[in-house]
């Protein structure tokens, strides 16, 4: 399986859309919207902003499923 590194984030506050490259070595906990400046944080149960607001989940979740990332205590974000 090939990992997709590009995800399109949509700001829930202003609707601004931006294509971003996801890190492969850690979850991204914060993202500043380029439209309104709002600092996005993961929704409860998600490990990163890409899983909450992106079109593609983060690389660890793509490879091993939702329970493989930070919310499960696997240490991907340590």
What mean pLDDT is predicted for residues 48-68? 87
What is the residue range of 47's domain? 6-64
**How do residues 10-57 score in pLDDT, each as one tens digit?**
999 999 999 999 998 778 999 999 999 999 999 998 889 999 999 999
Q: Is residue 74 part of a domain?
A: no
- Indicate whether 78 belongs to any domain: no
pLDDT of residue 74: 44
**Residue 54 forms part of a structural domain:** yes
Our count of domains for the chain comes to 1
Higher pLDDT, 37 or 73: 37
Specify the pairing of strand 17-21 against strand 31-32.
unpaired
55 domain-assigned: yes
| pTM of the model as a whole | 0.82
Give domain status of residue 72, yes or no.
no
> Does position 70 have pLDDT exceeding 80, yes or no?
no
Residue 40 lies in a domain: yes
Which pair of tokens denotes residue 77? 């974000």
């Amino acid at each position: 399986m090939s990992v997709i590194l590009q995800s399109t984030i949509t700001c829930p506050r202003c609707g601004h859309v931006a294509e971003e490259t996801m890190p492969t070595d850690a979850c991204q906990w914060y993202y500043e919207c380029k439209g309104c400046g709002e600092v996005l944080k993961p929704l409860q149960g998600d490990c990163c902003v890409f899983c909450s607001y992106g079109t593609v989940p983060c690389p660890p979740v793509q490879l091993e499923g939702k329970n493989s990332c930070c919310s499960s205590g696997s240490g991907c974000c340590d």
